[in-house]
Structure 1
Amino acid sequence: MKRGLIVDDSAVIRNIAGRILELLNFSSSEAENGAKALELCARSMPDVILLDWRLHGTETREFLRALRGLPGGGEPRIIYCATENDPLAISRALRAGADDFLLKPFDHRAIQEKFEENGLIG
């Protein structure tokens, strides 16, 4: 079973995304900030990370660079989740190591399509 990590300061978003991942046959874990997410990734690298656009205590680009520097950190597909369509912020996240982006609020269909586009599901 593939594994996903949801990194978001909102418990509601983490809960919704976790349920969607389960429907897509992924196990999931959650982190409310970048430090906790890096700790989880260092223990067991997920297949995909849904990454909030603002992380408390860690700038998103710093998190991406730190993650990509971990052993196996180049493997997970990272979907950057933004609340607004800010081309500059999205391009910065993509240059820092995100693979794709998804606008919030998202639903099952939006995540499924992103996962299909990124080769995570068939």
Structure 2
Amino acid sequence: MTKCLLVDEDQEERQVLSQLLGQYGFDMSESASAEAALKLCRANSPDIVVTADRIGSMSAGEFVKRVRRAANGRKPVVLVYTEKANTDEIGSAIIEGAAEFLLKPFDRDLLEFKLKQVGLL
């Protein structure tokens, strides 16, 4: 089963994404903070990490870099989502290894397309 970690400070956002991703049969876990998410990455080695573009004071680029280090040699697919397209943030996250960026509001068809693109469906 594909293990998925959702990372967002906003519980409602996590709930929306959890419902969307849960439709694909992923084994879901959630975190409201970057530090807790990194602990989960070390302990559970998720296959996919879906995160907001900023978790607390940590940017998406920094978070992706730390996920890569915490994943015990595995390279989970990291999808980053945002409300506004910030080219600096997007560029930084992609350089650090993010697979894709999604814009909110979430579109089920686009999410499914992105999951297929990165080989998870």
Say yes or no: does 1:36 pair with 2:36: yes
After the TM superposition, list the runs of 4 or more consecutive aligned residues in structure 1 that deviate by more than 4 angstroms.
none
Per-residue displacement from partner, 1:46-96 (whole Å, max 9, x unpaired)? 111111011114333222211111243542100111111222221111012
**How far apart are residue 44 of structure 1 and its match?**
0.6
> Any idea what SS the aligned residue of 1:36 has?
helix
Q: For residues 63 and 87 of structure 2, what CA distance do their matches in structure 1 show?
A: 19
- 2:52 paired residue number: 52
For structure 1, list consecutive stretches of 5 or more residues without a partner in the other structure. Answer: none
Alpha carbons 1:21, 1:27 under 8 Å: kept = no
Q: For residues 69 and 15 of structure 1, what CA distance do their matches in structure 2 show?
A: 27
For structure 2, list consecutive stretches of 5 or more residues without a partner in the other structure. Answer: none
| TM-score using structure 2 length | 0.91
What is the percentage of aligned positions where both structures have the same residue?
A: 29
Alpha carbons 1:7, 1:37 under 8 Å: kept = yes
After the TM superposition, which residues 43-122 of structure 1 pair with which residues of structure 2 at under 5 Å, given as runs? 43-72=43-72, 74-121=74-121
When the two chains are superposed, the root-mean-square deviation of aligned CA atoms in Å is: 1.4
Q: 1:116 to 1:78 in 2, by over 3 A?
A: same
Counterpart residue type for residue 58 of structure 2 = T
Counterpart residue type for residue 96 of structure 2 = A
